[in-house]
Structures are given as C-alpha cells and as structure tokens.
Structure 1
Amino acid sequence: MSKSLFKVLSVSGLLLLTGNLYAQSLKTIRIASPDLTAGTQHAGGGVVDVLYSKKWVEQAFAKQNIKVQWYFFKGAGPAINEALANDQLDFAFLGDLPPILGKAQGLKTQLLVPTSRGGTNYLAVRSDLNVKQLKQLKGLKVGILRGTADELSFVAALKSQGLTTQDVKLVNLDFNAVNAALAAKRIDASWGPARFFALRDKGLVKLPVSTRQLNGVGASQGVFLGRQQFIQSYPKETQLVVDQVVKGLHWLSLEQNHVPQIALFATQASYPALVYARELHGVNLKFLYSPRFDGYYLNNLQQKIDLTQAQGLIKQKIDIKPWVNTTFVNQAIRNLKLNEFWKDTNQYEYLKK
C-alpha cells in the first residue's frame, strides 16, 4: 500500500470515527414551549401538554439513555428565540410570529411539524366599556405580549377593519400580566386565545369579537421546529422526536379524546375546564391538529410572513421552500400508518360540517 493511499485511508477512518463519536455524544434533547399556565404546573397547550404529561418523548429515548429536558418560558416566543440563538435548545413549539422573527434575524431553524391551525382568537374588553367592534379600540390601551402569535393575529384583525397598531396604545405585558391588568382596569382590552373565557365568567371582560366572526382572519397556527445543526447532526433522533409529536397530534385528533384533552389542558394550565370546552365546541379536531404542510397551512404561513414584512417587523423576504422540511413529518405519518387519517386542506375548515 502506498504512503499516500495509507494517509487517505487513515484520514477517512479518523473522520468516520470522529463522526461516530459525535453522533454517540448526544446525551440530552432540549425542548421548549411558551408557558401558558395560570397555576404552578407547566402548560404549553395542545400537543405540548400531551407529550409533557404522558412522557412519550422520554420513553422513546429511554433505551438510548438520552435524557429529555423541557423548558417552559414565561417570556414565550422572544425568550425562546434568544435561547435558540445561543444554542441552548434543540427543538421548540411556537406560534406563528416568533419563528418568522427568528428566521429574519438569522436563526438557522427548520419547520418540522404543523401543530395547530385555525386557532380562534378573541377581543377581550373590560366589562365597563361599551366596545362592540374593533374600530372602537381607537386610542384605548391594549395589553399584548409583543413578538408573539397574539400580536400578529391582532395586527391581521385590525387590518381587516382598516386599522393598524398605531390606532391603539399597545402595552407590552405577558399573558398572566394581561389578565391582572384587565382585572385591575389598568388596560382597556387585549387580544388572544380562549384563556379570556375565565375572565368573562367572572364578569371582568366581554368578548365581542373573534376571528370566527372575521371569517378566520387573524386565526393562529403553531409549529414544531428544530435547530438546523441538530437536525443535520442527529437525523435519526430528530425522526424519533417527530414521531412522538405526530403521535400526540393523532391522540388529540381522535374524537374519543375530545373530553380527555379538555381535562388535560385544564389540569396543566389551571384554567377552568369550561374554558377549553367552549373553545373546542363543534371544532373539527382533525383539521385543528393536522400535521400536514398542506395548501391551507403553507398559504397562511406565507400570508403571515408578508404581513410581518408589511408591518415593518422584518425587512427581508423569507423563502419558505428551504425553511419547511417535510421529510420527517411525512416519514412519521408513514411510520405510524396514518397516511389516510388527515386529509390535505386548502380552505378554512375549522368548524365541523
């Protein structure tokens, strides 16, 4: 054997060994979610609560002695983006705006699984104010956590009525702070998901407008994403995680789990079960929890990117084709033999027919 060939083989062997050692060095998988709880337990809503409570991801990696660490952020999307930027997380469950902002800021992520779509948002107004439509918000204080899906949904809803955020006085508050501020009458209104039902039942707010009344304008959607470097380094582990996410979405999509998921969400988040029962009443669960990157989801994603840019929240365009990675979710659907379970949708099918 020539010396030059020996060197090539030696270097190749060293690279292969290094690659194997690197692949074997994975000891922990770090997953993040906004913390939506009103109590002492952690809650992320939807598939997060399913996976976190049932420990399916932990069980999937038990034989490999790989630990799974969950991180719940009160600062929601903005705080999670910061952690991703510092390589402190591997995966995250997020609403629609934070991933867009992160991508525009240079975060190297890939969208792996749609986790929700068509989520209803509501205008919550202090009960002592006579506000019945969005146009009446002009000049009022609206509490919202900036940089989150709630903000983008609110922007879209305002735009549908010929308004912008410049027409209101935005106050940056986290989810629990918004509830407290409404109760104390320090703000006039807010915009967000079903958690406001708890305040309405106490007579503190009215809910005069929702995205359902706006024909779906401002409806939110969620996504499970990963750091590109992790995905490229650990494709098998990524696939196993995505399998569990799709398994969780399947559990949520089953009509027989309609009541159990309401109980689960209420337990995790410490909100009354009636809040979630109202939110899910008459909802097409297979549509809400479909993991498919279909026409409906991708069109809405592009619209949200365009809206974010039009509002000046990002400066550059984002090409969704290289950003969306369908490989793992499509394989997960095949692995779980769910090819015929969710259909592709191209229109608003949130409510049951």
Structure 2
Amino acid sequence: MRARQPGPARGGLLGALRRLLPMVLACALPLTAASGAEPEAVRIATTAFTENGKAAIGGVAFRVQQEGWLAAQLQQRGVRLEWLPVAGDTGATMNEAFAGKRIDFAAYGDLPSVILNAGGVRTQVVVPAGRGSDVFLLVTPGSTARSIRDLKGKRISVHRGRPWELGLRHLIEDNGLSVGDFTLVNMDIKPGAAALATGKVDALFVLGGDALEDRGAGRIIWSSKGKPERKMRAELWGRRDFTQASPALTQLVVTAWLRAQHWASLDANREAFIRDGTRAGIPERVVRRAYDDPQLAWKDRFSPLYDGLVYWHYREVLAFARQQKLVRKQLTAEELLEPRFVDAGLKELGLSNYWTQEKQP
C-alpha cells in the first residue's frame, strides 16, 4: 500500500466519474418531451446489500417498495416501476446510469452528484433525506489518541471523492489544523478498516463507525452525532430532463417518498424501522446505537424540508469541490435543489407543518 498525499485523485472513483460526464450531452430530447407520451417505466436506483443471496434495498426506499402505493399509482397510468439496487461503488455506477439515461431517480450521496452536475449531466434533489448520516474517526483499540489533534503527522485513511470526505476536512479545520498536518491515504471502507487493523494507517474516517467499533476493528474518538452541520447527506435525486418532461410522474415518486419518510418518523413505527435495518446483517444493538443521538429527535431524522441547513450544506459541498479541483464549473445550491415537488406533496398529504425548519449554522 502506498500512502498518497492529499491532492486531486487522477484515477479510481473520481477518474471514473469525470470520464462519464460528457457521455450524453449531445443526446436528443427524450421521447416524453418530444411526443408528450408518458414513459413506459419509472426507474429508481438506490444503494443495496445482499439478502438471501439477492440484491435488496433498505431504509426509506424499502418502505416505498413494500408499501406498494407508488407502483399501484404508476400502474394506473400504464407505467412500470423498476428498481435498480446498486452495491459497491454506488457513486460512479449511479452517475453512469444517469449519464446514459438508464435511470430517472437515485438515492445517493452529495459529492458524486455535484461532480455529475458540474460535468453537464443535470440532476436535482427532489427529496432531502432527513438530517443526514453520521461520519466517524476511528483509531486502533490500543491507540492512545483521544482526538484528531493527537494524530498530527499520522496516516488517516479516507476514500476520496465519496460524500464523507468533506466531513474529515471540516474536522481538521475545526481543530485549527490543516490537511498538510496529516498523510491522507485514499482507500475505501473495507480496505481502510483492514489497514487500520494491521497498523498500516493510524486512523480511519468512514461511515458506519458503530459497526466497526462493535466488532473490535477500531475505537471511535469522534463522530458527527449531535453536530447536524457535520453530517454527510444523501438525497433522492431526479434527472432534470425527466422531471421537467414528466412532472406528474415525478410528483408521484416524491409523494411516495414523503409518505415513507412520514411513516418512518412516527414513534409507533420506530421499532419496525430499526428491525428493517438488521436485514443487511447488522446486529440490532448496532442499528440502535447508530440511531442514538440525544440531540436529534426521531421525527426530525426524516425531515424532507429544504431548510437553511440543507442550503448551507450544499454551498459547503460546492465550495469544497471547487477548492479541491474536483469540478471546474461554478454551480449554486439553488440549481441543485428543487423544492416544488416536496412543497406540493406535503400540502397534499396535510404535512406542511409537521416538520420543523432547521436554521443555517
């Protein structure tokens, strides 16, 4: 393994994302826009895991799938609902599918989506996915480090170009340090965890830190719990030419997501939602621990509001992508966020005042 100093990655995920961007810019308008006819199918991609030997989806998307409301509504219009479960390198896979117009919606992270849009393949957030996901800094169980300041001059594994990379940059800056104070090693979660276990790196910055600590792979010395402005975000994104050509179908998808997020937010459904989280093979104690954040109400975890926190987050992501030379085109948060479908859906469901707006940090 070779340690990489921080700087723009030339290959791997970022290289793949960049190569995909120009693929369909010269394509003609989709059939729906040209003819006014509705498409044969609505296609939604979401992250996946293996369950009983088959690809399966979880979280809010699983609730949409299990409830069946969206599939029934589309069927009434003669339109199929197709799911694309994606495991592994989700960012590159979903970006490629968007670029090739093989999907219409995808539930995935912020940074790959920004890179896609900067290259000219336009998508927008059609449903914000709550208050974000937690990120973690872990060291070996025997390490004496208690904070990132104790890791100055050490090696930290983080997968560049993935949505949680910004969280590490924020953590470094919050502690009055600079990226140059560390050696950042570009690895995905599994090889990064293996490198931590064998002492090839001194720390690991990842998602899913609770599960890693539970199995003894590391010790958490920092997490974003209790820090809404430091969490990673993954949303439901829609391909802009599809949402513009088929607003009625887009509204059905958004309303289905709102129904699912409202269902998950109810205290009466909390246990069922947690049990769903164990389908990926994660012990229930770890799922419960992952949702343990005393400063975040259960209901607010599933807020779909385009509030000050959401706009602030995307301004931060865009600035980071430009600073790191991951993108060249200047974008704005307003270009990426499309609230009209959520506004209409909340009104239709009588939920306009259900969730509380979060202020900008």
| Distance in 2 separating the partners of 1:231 and 1:270 | 35
Q: What is residue 286 of structure 2 aligned with on the other side? A: 275
Question: Are 1:123 and 2:134 counterparts?
Answer: no
| Distance in 1 separating the partners of 2:69 and 2:160 | 32
Q: Which of 223, 227, 251 is equivalent to 2:235?
A: 223
Asked whether the 8 Å contact 2:136–2:206 carries over to 1, the reply is: yes
The aligned length equals 328
Q: What is residue 104 of structure 2 aligned with on the other side? A: 90
**SS class of match (2:351):** coil
| Distance in 2 separating the partners of 1:85 and 1:20 | 17
Question: Are 1:204 and 2:204 counterparts?
Answer: no
Q: What is residue 301 of structure 1 aligned with on the other side? A: 314
Q: Which of 346, 351, 355 is equivalent to 1:333?
A: 346
| Distance in 2 separating the partners of 1:172 and 1:36 | 23
What pairs with 1:106-255 in structure 2 (closer than 5 Å)? 106-193=120-207, 195-212=208-225, 215-255=227-267
The one-letter code sitting in structure 2 at the alignment partner of 1:96 is D
**SS class of match (2:303):** coil
Asked whether the 8 Å contact 2:39–2:79 carries over to 1, the reply is: no
| Distance in 2 separating the partners of 1:19 and 1:332 | 23
| Distance in 2 separating the partners of 1:40 and 1:132 | 40
Deviation per CA, 1:153-202, whole angstroms, max 9, x where unpaired?
Answer: 22222221233444433333334444444445444322233x22222122
Question: Structure 1: which 5+ runs fail to align?
Answer: 1-17, 349-353
Q: What is residue 298 of structure 2 aligned with on the other side? A: 285
| Distance in 1 separating the partners of 2:103 and 2:183 | 34
**SS class of match (1:236):** helix
Asked whether the 8 Å contact 1:156–1:217 carries over to 2, the reply is: no
Percentage of identical aligned residues: 27
**SS class of match (2:255):** helix
Provide closer, same or farther for how the CA distance between residues 23 and 67 of structure 1 changes in structure 2, counting only shifts above 3 A. Answer: farther
Deviation per CA, 1:262-288, whole angstroms, max 9, x where unpaired?
Answer: 110111x21111122112223312322
Deviation per CA, 1:242-269, whole angstroms, max 9, x where unpaired?
Answer: 11111111112112222211110111x2
- Post-superposition offset of 1:136: 2.8
Q: What is residue 20 of structure 2 aligned with on the other side? A: none
Provide closer, same or farther for how the CA distance between residues 104 and 137 of structure 1 changes in structure 2, counting only shifts above 3 A. Answer: farther
Deviation per CA, 1:303-346, whole angstroms, max 9, x where unpaired?
Answer: 22223323333334312223321111111111212112112221
Larger Rg: 1
- Post-superposition offset of 1:114: 0.4
- Post-superposition offset of 1:241: 0.6
Asked whether the 8 Å contact 2:119–2:329 carries over to 1, the reply is: no
The one-letter code sitting in structure 1 at the alignment partner of 2:277 is F
Provide closer, same or farther for how the CA distance between residues 19 and 153 of structure 1 changes in structure 2, counting only shifts above 3 A. Answer: closer
**SS class of match (2:128):** strand
Provide closer, same or farther for how the CA distance between residues 137 and 311 of structure 1 changes in structure 2, counting only shifts above 3 A. Answer: farther
**SS class of match (1:119):** coil
Tell me how large the CA RMSD over aligned residues is: 2.7
Q: What is residue 59 of structure 2 aligned with on the other side? A: 46
Question: Structure 2: which 5+ runs fail to align?
Answer: 1-30
